[in-house]
A and B are shown apart, each in its own frame.
Chain A
Amino acid sequence: MELVCPAGNLPSLKAAVKAGADAVYMGLQNATNARHFAGLNFTQKQMQQGIEFAQSRGCKVFLAVNTYPYCHDLDTWQQAVDTAADLKVDALILADMGVMDYTCEQHPDLNIHLSVQGSATSAAAVNFFAEQFNIKRAVIPRVLSIKQVAHLVNQSKVPIEVFGFGSLCVMVEGRCLLSSYATGLGPNNHGACSPAEFVEWKNTDDHLETRLNGILIDQVDKDDSVGYPVICKGRYEVNDHIGYAIEEPTSLNTLSILAELKAIGVAAVKVEGRQRSPAYVRQVTEVMRAAIDDCLEKPDSYRVRDKWNKTLGDLSEGQQTTLGAYYRNWQ
């Protein structure tokens, strides 16, 4: 079971490689990937340096080109694919059928992984991409229970990668329009959820508010802290009650089911967080590396260590973690 870690920039890439990632994933500095944030991602030269650093240490490199181009944007996405081929990445992480079709035609030897943004939640969907675009792996959305993951892995024609730790998308990835409904720009068409230019933090007499394009997402007492205004983690009024109607600020943490993921045949575990700091990437990678090594070496006696949970808990949104949809009752 491979450990796939986020590389938002060169320092994070190096941190992940040194801490034991089997693969790192990165993006270019434009809307072709789903972490299109200012100051993040790689120029072509930095990519080259990163690939050399990682590959020379036995770590694979994947390039995420996993957003959806409109007709007039397709050239830019195709150029990103050409760049990946030139730089000899180990795989491209793609979501759009048009970009996959181009890749198959122009670079038939380039490995394609289906991005989580491709929104394939069943073996039938994964096998569609396997048959039509010869994908070599699929990353599946965070909507399945562990039993459903096992069934999918069993029926899939290609290896399956799942999310193991990091921020939790509550909605099925690749089909969430909440951000673009509020701002015009979202993960699919812009590579970012709640783009920073629409975010407002405002102090009133007794409150701290967060707004997204004018919409109140949450407010707290002046001395409390409030998270980034991602719509699904806000507090709203439903049936005269104010609360986290969709989900609380929390992070996914699969340490307690890692052995099970291994046993059902999951090929790779992914850590979310290209927008996080190199220190964050190093700490999470170290914990996940140690845990996966334990799983591989002595699967029958695998136990989550307290210090792992403490480290990951401290790095989590709202210092809370969840198994998300893997745990049926969460649903």
Chain B
Amino acid sequence: MIKQTYKKLSLAPIPYFWDRATVEDFYQQVADSPIDEVYLGEVICSKRRALGLNDWISIGQDLTAAGKEVVLSTLSLVEAASELSVMTKICQQDDFAVEVNDMSAVQLRTSHTKPSFTAGGSLNIYNQRSLDKLKSLGLNRWVLPHEHNQNALHAFDLTDIELELPAWGRLSLAYSARCFTARTHNRSKDQCGFICDQYPDGLAMKTQEAKDFLVINGIQTQSGTIQNHLEAISDDAVDILRLTPQQNNCFEVIDIFDQVRKQQMHVDEGQQKLAKCTIHPISNGYWHQQAGKDWVAAKQ
């Protein structure tokens, strides 16, 4: 068999609250896209119940039939017993791979008989010793946490681990018990009325000078910038480039990454085209050991 010579593309879970029909349409398009790996599930707020675990499994089966590798993702911030019960089901099933997004899920997954897992970017893995510990428990793929720069990544021995780099989309910066979208509407989380469905790309939180800064997405705070790591397509340490769903131009972004990885489009042209896929500022600062919000242009 000829080894695939270009990197894989993955699609992160949808971070926002989209209605059921939108989600189903979206994944039908994904089935026909060049995406290799699809992460599915609600990772932000367990109150969002437009789709339940069985619905995600059903979408996963359709995507598997379309030739995609499917991974079920777990909730990032776990508070309630009911959330642990859904997570337990995800961690104990064998039909799909699992992405663990907090240490609760690591515990539930590693008590499973065949405990392989992808470590999501919100697990705190900063050094080799931490990575090796989780590798000994079944980690076989690692989504690089945002605070690592390129040199820090190169310090790791990644033998037998696939490295996945978040390469397009807003950065996930923080999680809270409080729902900020509900707060904006003077509601508590328990009386939210699913108000976040009005913000399918998040809610902008600007400075008092009206500059883009952060984005509110329920209990999650995201970056106001779109992180763009197309440049990492030539980094040998990276096996998978991870793209985050967005409401507009998502499939244009996927096609640009696909063409660049297959060398059907030059990186520079890809960057120019990506710039047109969002109205928000772009960033890559963490990768260059700077503030996450910054953009460092490629050296000419």
Complex partner residue of B129 from A97, A237, A242, CB under 8 angstroms: A97
Most buried by B among A70, A99, A189, A325: A70
Tell me the complex Cα distance, A95–B103, Å.
Answer: 12
Complex contact B178–A129 (CB within 8 A): no
Tell me the complex Cα distance, A189–B127, Å.
Answer: 11
Q: Tell me the minimal C-beta distance from A139 to chain B in angstroms.
A: 14
A194 at the B interface (CB under 8 A): no
Complex contact A216–B78 (CB within 8 A): no
Complex contact B175–A171 (CB within 8 A): yes
> What string of 1s and 0s marks CB contacts (under 8 Å) between B79-97 and chain A?
1110010010000000000
Which chain B residues border A97 with CB–CB below 8 Å?
124-125, 129-130, 133-134
> What string of 1s and 0s marks CB contacts (under 8 Å) between A303-325 and chain B?
00000000000000000000011
Which chain A residues border B265 with CB–CB below 8 Å?
none
A182 at the B interface (CB under 8 A): yes
Q: Is the interface of A mostly helix, strand, loop or mixed?
A: mixed
Number of A-B contacts (CB under 8 A): 215
Which chain A residues border B66 with CB–CB below 8 Å?
none
Q: Tell me the minimal C-beta distance from A262 to chain B in angstroms.
A: 22
Which chain A residues border B260 with CB–CB below 8 Å?
none
Complex contact A330–B293 (CB within 8 A): no
Complex contact B208–A180 (CB within 8 A): no
> What string of 1s and 0s marks CB contacts (under 8 Å) between A170-188 and chain B?
1110111110111110101
Supposing A125-B102, A188-B126 touch, asked if A180 and B79 sit within 8 A by C-beta, the answer is no
Complex contact A71–B208 (CB within 8 A): no
Tell me the complex Cα distance, A331–B108, Å.
Answer: 27
Complex contact A184–B104 (CB within 8 A): no
B106 at the A interface (CB under 8 A): yes
Q: Tell me the minimal C-beta distance from B115 to chain A in angstroms.
A: 12
Tell me the complex Cα distance, A145–B190, Å.
Answer: 12
B residues with a Cβ closer than 8 A to A are 77-81, 84, 87, 102-108, 110, 122, 124-130, 133-134, 137, 146-148, 152, 155-156, 171-180, 183-184, 188-190, 203-211, 213-214, 216, 221, 223, 285-286, 289-293
Q: Tell me the minimal C-beta distance from A151 to chain B in angstroms.
A: 6
Tell me the complex Cα distance, A125–B123, Å.
Answer: 12
Tell me the complex Cα distance, A128–B188, Å.
Answer: 32
A228 at the B interface (CB under 8 A): no
Tell me the complex Cα distance, A241–B127, Å.
Answer: 42
Complex partner residue of A96 from B104, B122, B126, CB under 8 angstroms: B126
Complex contact B174–A172 (CB within 8 A): yes
Complex partner residue of B293 from A118, A176, A181, A242, CB under 8 angstroms: A181
Q: Of residues 137 to 190 in A, which have CB atoms within 8 Å of B's CB atoms?
A: 142-145, 148, 151, 170-172, 174-178, 180-184, 186, 188-189
Complex contact A236–B291 (CB within 8 A): no
Q: Of residues 270 to 308 in A, which have CB atoms within 8 Å of B's CB atoms?
A: none
Which chain B residues border A241 with CB–CB below 8 Å?
184
Complex contact B107–A127 (CB within 8 A): yes
Complex contact A181–B124 (CB within 8 A): no
Complex partner residue of B291 from A96, A180, A231, A325, CB under 8 angstroms: A180
Complex contact B183–A245 (CB within 8 A): yes
Which chain B residues border A120 with CB–CB below 8 Å?
103-104
Starting from the known contacts A96-B130, A143-B176, A245-B183, 5 additional A-B residue pairs (CB-CB under 8 Å) come to: A96-B126, A97-B130, A118-B124, A124-B107, A238-B203
Which chain A residues border B107 with CB–CB below 8 Å?
124-125, 127-128, 131
26 cross-chain CB contacts under 8 A: A69-B127, A70-B148, A70-B155, A71-B127, A72-B152, A73-B127, A97-B129, A97-B133, A119-B102, A120-B103, A124-B108, A128-B106, A128-B110, A143-B77, A143-B176, A143-B177, A148-B79, A148-B80, A178-B221, A180-B147, A180-B291, A181-B291, A213-B291, A217-B207, A236-B208, A237-B208
A222 at the B interface (CB under 8 A): no
A residues with a Cβ closer than 8 A to B are 68-74, 95-99, 101-102, 118-122, 124-125, 127-129, 131-132, 142-145, 148, 151, 170-172, 174-178, 180-184, 186, 188-189, 213, 215-219, 231-232, 235-239, 241-242, 245-247, 324-325, 328-331
Tell me the complex Cα distance, A216–B81, Å.
Answer: 40
Complex contact A98–B129 (CB within 8 A): yes
Which chain B residues border A177 with CB–CB below 8 Å?
146-147, 171-174, 292
Q: Tell me the minimal C-beta distance from A24 to chain B in angstroms.
A: 26
Supposing A170-B178, A180-B291 touch, asked if A238 and B79 sit within 8 A by C-beta, the answer is no
Tell me the complex Cα distance, A221–B226, Å.
Answer: 34
Which chain B residues border A95 with CB–CB below 8 Å?
124
Complex contact B127–A70 (CB within 8 A): yes
Complex contact B205–A121 (CB within 8 A): no
Which chain B residues border A219 with CB–CB below 8 Å?
208
Tell me the complex Cα distance, A281–B103, Å.
Answer: 33
Supposing A71-B152, A72-B155 touch, asked if A236 and B206 sit within 8 A by C-beta, the answer is yes
Of all chain A residues, the one with the shortest Cβ separation from B155 is: A71
Supposing A119-B102, A151-B81 touch, asked if A245 and B213 sit within 8 A by C-beta, the answer is no
Complex partner residue of B184 from A213, A218, A239, CB under 8 angstroms: A239
Of all chain B residues, the one with the shortest Cβ separation from A169 is: B176
Supposing A125-B78, A148-B79, A237-B206 touch, asked if A119 and B103 sit within 8 A by C-beta, the answer is yes
Tell me the complex Cα distance, A225–B205, Å.
Answer: 23
Complex partner residue of B292 from A184, A237, A246, CB under 8 angstroms: A184
